Amino acid sequence: MTYRSGRHFLQLPGPTQVPGRVFRAMTRAVIDHRGPEFGRMVLGLFEGLKWVFGDPAHVFIFPSSASGCWETALVNTLSPGDHVLLWNNGFFASKWGDFARALGFDVEILEGDWRGPADAETIAARLAQDRERQIQAVLVVHNETSTGVTSDIASVRDALDEAGHPALLMVDAVSSLAATPYRQAEWGVDVTVCGSQKGLMLPPGLGFCAVSEKALDRHREVAPAPRAYFDWTAMLGDNEGGYFPYTPPTTLLYGLEASLAMLREEGADATCARHARLAEATRRAVAGWGLRNYCQDAGAVSNAGTTVMAGEGEDAEAFRLAVLERFDMSLGTGLGPLKGKVFRIGHLGDLNELMLMGALAGVEMGLKTSGITHTAGGLAAAAEFLAEARRP
């Protein structure tokens, strides 16, 4: 392999670019994970995480990718065979459903339009029919990374409240956290699933499960589903002092300490406003190229990533690979049934205007050289918007 000068553009909606400050924090020596310095650090991390998630009762940190926390959420709050309702509007939502089914739960899928958000009215209607209260949990993905569609979680909460339904509300916030406002307590979310490699700007490897008191009560009350490594009870005991029931990934926790500090310094509103601004610039570029955003609902477009459709008969995957080869930039691939039909531009994590413009320039040059039908002017449209858009 030959050396390529300059930096690789990792323009995915996760994993995202890890800032130097986070990497530097991770190079400290590993310390005793049962010693006082470690306990103090982890108690501080719990506080920081509660702030990011919007005041849950507790945030479990698991050495796992985010999908591990899909599993954690289910096996700690449900009994074997329990009925769950899942809104399916994308690749990750359907995978969460597959996990639930593989774990032996009775999964009912509400098939949604992949090009739009979760429909709270449909969910409310289904919950109202459930007079026997069979449904134990409602599962929704906040930001569907495969499609670039964001759902309104507060409206799903309202659906549960309208039906007076006691089911737990479980939300995948893997690619929305620290990019889109997230308010666990205010929205009455019982379990939020997340991972380290997206808005939190860390390498992959940590999974998070932010939980409400109600979820913790269910955990104590239900006939437990089989679980061992992912058991909350063991975690809760050790977490009280800032410890884990096993050896945690100390260096990733150092990184988390740095990334939480960075998010606090920027401020939650400013972080979300920055993501909204960069996302809007990207959409203007896409429109300027005469290409179509996969998301068809202007109120549900994503702050984290934009999924762009190639024209009929054009190969989005070949385009993506050409951009990688020619300009050293990774764009997101089309996932599941969208393979070859779309490419995804990530605008998530540690990113500013000029970094985004570099990425969009790479897309525009790629479009020029790859034969994807487009019009000129995307980059100029983004530049014009960003030059005018003021930081709050």
Q: Which residues bind ligand PLP (CB under 6 A)?
A: 14, 65-67, 92, 141, 145, 172, 174-175, 195, 204
User: In angstroms, what CA-CA distances link 152 with 32, 109, 140, 270?
Assistant: 42, 18, 10, 20
Question: Is the CB of 22 or the CB of 66 nearer to ligand PLP?
Answer: 66
Q: How far is CA 175 from CA 44, 148, 346, 348, 390, in A?
A: 23, 10, 10, 8, 25
Side-chain-side CA neighbours of 39 within 13 Å: the count stands at 10
Query: Is residue 126 a contact partner of residue 74, using CB atoms and an 8 Å limit?
Result: no
* Residue 195 or 242 having the CB closest to ligand PLP: 195
Q: In DSSP terms, which residues pair with 209 in a beta bridge?
A: 60, 193
The nearest distance, CB 73 to ligand PLP, in angstroms, is: 12
Least CB distance to ligand PLP at residue 107 (A) = 16
Phi–psi pair at 171, nearest 5 degrees: -125, 135
Output 175 or 259, the one with its CB closest to ligand PLP: 175
* Interacting residues of 345 by C-beta distance below 8 A, sequence separation 6+: 11, 282, 286, 305, 306, 308, 331, 332, 359, 360, 363
User: For residues 202 and 367, which CB has a smaller minimum distance to ligand PLP in the complex?
Assistant: 202
CB of 346 to ligand PLP, least distance (A): 10
From the CB of 96, what's the least distance to ligand PLP, in Å?
Answer: 7
**Torsions phi, psi for 385 (to 5 deg):** -65, -45
Alpha helices in 106-195 (DSSP H): 120-129, 153-162
Tokens of 266: 């920027």
**For ligand PLP, the closer CB: 119 or 144:** 144
Taking the complex as a whole, the smallest distance from the CB of residue 235 to ligand PLP amounts, in Å, to: 19
Tell me how many degrees the CA angle 218-222-226 measures, rounded to the nearest 5: 115
In degrees and rounded to multiples of 5, residue 342 shows phi and psi of: -135, 160
The closest of 53, 65, 72 to 232, measured between CA atoms, is: 72
**Coil vs helix vs strand at 40:** helix
Q: Which is nearer to ligand PLP, 124 or 316 (CB)?
A: 316
Q: How far apart are the first and last CA of the chain?
A: 44
Residues in the chain: 392
Distance in Å, CB of 271 to ligand PLP, minimum: 18
- Judged by beta carbon, residue 172 or residue 364, the one nearer ligand PLP is 172
Q: Which is nearer to ligand PLP, 91 or 327 (CB)?
A: 91
Q: How far is the CB of 66 from ligand PLP (least distance, A)?
A: 3
**CA distance linking residue 196 with residue 63, whole number of Å:** 10
Residue type at position 38: F
SS3 of residue 293 by DSSP: strand
Cβ proximity to ligand PLP, 66 vs 295, nearer residue: 66
* Residue whose CB is less far from ligand PLP, 92 or 187: 92
Tell me the pairing of strands 9-11 and 329-331.
Answer: parallel
Residue 76: CB minimum distance to ligand PLP, A:
17
Least distance to ligand PLP, CB of residue 325, Å: 23
Q: What is the largest CA-CA distance in the chain?
A: 64
State the nearest-atom distance from the C-beta of 70 to ligand PLP, in Å. 7
